[in-house]
Amino acid sequence: MRIGELARRTGVSTRSLRYYEQHGLLSARRGANGYRLYTEGDVRLVSEIRALLSVGFTLEDTRPFVDCLRSGHDSGGSCPESVAVYQRKLAEIDDEVRLLLARRAEVAAQLAGSCEDCFFRGET
């Protein structure tokens, strides 16, 4: 299939597909006319990349998942390298949650100190 069809089927712009190719995450064969040609497997690769990016992974984070799929696994997350990226990302999210909770507590404390009669949702 050509790049326009891959873009349509995956919901990704042709520009993004060329960007993925530039970064080695996607590879296209070239037809005699020079057009990029993709396979059904590329639909799965792009879908995996898109799903990971949508939840906060970086483009480089997706590489082990793409490599895992290319090596024949049914899931991009089933290889040890992918699991390591999942674990690192969860640790990063946990750190962000802790930071947000600390900020929230500080803002709630400032509100309580500024306005004794104020009621703040979630605080009693």
Residue 56 within a domain: yes
Q: How many domains does the chain have?
A: 1
In a domain, residue 119? The reply is no
CATH of the domain at 97: 1.10.1660.10
In angstroms, rounded to a whole number, what is the distance separating the alpha carbons of residues 42 and 69?
Answer: 10
User: Is residue 122 situated within a structural domain?
Assistant: no
Q: Which domain holds residue 18?
A: 3-114
Q: For residue 116, what pLDDT is reported?
A: 72
Q: Under a CB-based contact definition with an 8 Å cutoff, are residues 97 and 85 in contact?
A: no
Q: What is the pLDDT of residue 121?
A: 61
pTM reported for the whole predicted model: 0.81
pLDDT digits (tens, 9 = 90+) for 74-95: 999 999 999 999 999 999 999 9
Nearest partner of 23 among 74, 72, 60, judged by Cα: 60
